[in-house]
Amino acid sequence: MAIPIIMPRQGQSVESCILVQWLVKPGDSVSEGQPVANIETDKATFEVPAPASGTVLELFFSEGADIPVLTNIGAIGSPGEDVAALRPGGATAPPAASASPTPEPEQTAQVAPSSGSPSATPSLQQGTPVGVSPRARKAAEKAGIDPTSLAGSGPNGRVIERDIVAAAAGRPPMTVAARAAGPIPAGAWPAQGTGVGGRVTTSDRLAAKEAPAQISRAMEKPAATVRELPVKGIRKIIAERMRQSLSTTAQLTLHARADITVLQAFRARAKAKGEAFGFPKVTINDLVCFAAVRALKKHPALNAHFLGDRILEFESVHLGVAVDTPRGLMVPVVQDADRLSLAELSAAIRERADACQSGSINPDLLVGGTFTVTNLGALGIDYFTPVLNAPEVAILGVGGISLQPARRADGSTAFVETLAFSLTIDHQAVDGAPAARFLQDLVTAVEHIDILLAADSQKA
């Protein structure tokens, strides 16, 4: 008699959990209480213990699936036992093997467990709802709703007819052509149709994918003195990116200062004598970028993209550098900045900034950044709150130089030159303390830039 592995209920308010990772695969022997999977609620991660000793017969969901609590997620028993009765979705659903109820193609492809199971049906692979009743499916088709996008209220989270009726209630009617363009996921319904009688038209469907159109408030603008500028080109891109950044990320900005006595002295000497050693003229920004790239190697969590359902940490640092151009803000990217010497990095930044200024930048060099540095120091700004270049999880703002009092080792007080840093992070991906540690390391690196450079040349 096979025994189901059940998605446990983690507290009363939790309706579903994410299956983060399978710790076993079909065919593995497990003993009772041994962890078989990691699951995650919106607050914490838990292990699911094996309910009995035996052989893992089948895993019903793939990693990443959001599964209602008390759903069977796998089965343990003796090899060869039939597990059909334990599969979620009830008797009407075709046997589910490796497919999750809401498989996303990428995830399905990555799933290791039970990938050898031949019983997976093609329709399931395409995301046909395991948990949608036939009546609900019919009603969904009629209403133009994607049933898989709904949270079902039936047994095991099954989407039943009343879920469709509830979802369709209050929605504007659709034209036949809009309906024929396929079902609309629950969250993507246009709030209002622009067609006859408020119908949702095919163009509303297209528009719903974009940001809602700004309704003309032209009537409220003061007349005559206003200069009207069309929002297009770079301005339009910046507007969309910035709004998207602030609406999809949880931004937190940390501030710190670095004593740049050493850095300034180093620059002064490099300027005076560097030529003799073939050492180029470098800017403060070049040095900060260099230090930031090296610090990022120690803090990969900040050299990352947050993609909603997963975080990608990058080994290489592709450094974006914000450039103020007559056409607006541009952020060219220096690929593999972590493999460049200070001289190379400095040259790469200058070359890209010049290309942006002249408008000749290769568009390929404007994408693919993993971390961005933006500098307003030359414009008299101390601290600011840089806006993340999403999906990047961090951006470093460099402010101006100012004199700050400091206590010397001998107890005397002196004014030292300091540089202001503002680090914005996406708190969805990075917490405050790790970000502060990165900033601390960056400050240390800037304050001891000579040692950092020496250490770097040693590596090379």
Partner 1 sequence: MYDLIIVGAGPGGYVAAERAGARGLRVLLIEQRKLGGVCLNEGCIPSKTLLNSAKLYYYAVHGTAYGVHASGVSFDWAAAQARKEEVMKTLRNGIAGLMKKNKVEVLYGAARLAGPRAVTVDGKTYEARAVILATGSAPARPPIPGIDLPGVVDSTGILSLERLPKRLVVIGGGVIGCEFACCFGSLGVPVTVIEMMPEICPQIDAELARTLRAELAKKNITFHVGAKVLEITPDAVRFEQGGKVEQIERDIVLVSTGRVPNVQGLGLEEARVEFDRRGIKVDDRCATNQPGLFAIGDCTGRSWLAHTASRMGEVVVNNLTGREDRMRWHAIPAVVYTNPEVASVGLSETDAAARGLPVKIVKWPLTANGRFLAEHAGERGLAKLVLHAETGVLLGAHVVGGACSEMIFGCAALIEMEARVRDLEEIVFPHPTASEAMRDAVFTLH
Give the three-state DSSP class for 439. Answer: helix
What is the C-alpha to C-alpha distance for residues 241 and 110, in angstroms, rounded to an integer?
30
Q: Which stretch binds partner 1 (CB under 8 A): 94-102, 111-119, 176-184, 266-274?
A: 176-184
- Phi, then psi, of 34 in degrees rounded to 5: -70, 135
In whole angstroms, how far apart are CA 165 and each of 92, 157, 170, 421, 428?
21, 16, 10, 54, 35
What is the C-alpha to C-alpha distance for residues 172 and 195, in angstroms, rounded to an integer?
10
Closer by beta carbon to partner 1, 224 or else 272: 224
What is the C-alpha to C-alpha distance for residues 136 and 139, in angstroms, rounded to an integer?
5
The one among 176, 206, 312, 455 contacting partner 1 by CB under 8 A: 176
Interface pattern 354-373 for partner 1 (x via CB under 8 A): --------------------
Decide: 386 and 424 in contact? Cβ < 8 Å.
yes
Closer by beta carbon to partner 1, 205 or else 257: 205
Strand partners, 210: none
Does residue 180 bind partner 1 (CB under 8 A)? yes
Total binding residues toward partner 1, as defined by CB under 8 A: 21
| Structural element, H or E, at residue 274 | none
Residues 6+ apart with CB under 8 A from 332: 320, 321, 323, 352, 353, 355, 356, 361, 365, 366
Residue 18: count of CB within 10 angstroms of its CB: 17
Interface pattern 131-170 for partner 1 (x via CB under 8 A): ----------------------------------------
Closer by beta carbon to partner 1, 9 or else 221: 221
Closer by beta carbon to partner 1, 226 or else 379: 226
What is the C-alpha to C-alpha distance for residues 397 and 394, in angstroms, rounded to an integer?
10
Minimal distance, residue 222 CB to partner 1, in Å: 8
Is 427 an active-site residue? Answer: yes
- 328 phi-psi bin (left φ>0, alpha ψ -120 to 50, beta other): left
The one among 76, 143, 178, 289 contacting partner 1 by CB under 8 A: 178
Minimal distance, residue 196 CB to partner 1, in Å: 4
Closer by beta carbon to partner 1, 119 or else 202: 202
Interface positions, 181-240, toward partner 1 (CB under 8 A): 181, 192, 194-196, 198-199, 201-202, 216, 218-221, 223-224
- Active-site annotation holder among 354, 431, 450, 456: 431
Does residue 172 bind partner 1 (CB under 8 A)? no
Minimal distance, residue 184 CB to partner 1, in Å: 15
Decide: 164 and 136 in contact? Cβ < 8 Å.
yes
- Active-site annotation holder among 427, 448, 450, 456: 427
Catalytic residues: 427, 431
Residues in contact with partner 1 by CB under 8 A are 175-178, 180-181, 192, 194-196, 198-199, 201-202, 216, 218-221, 223-224
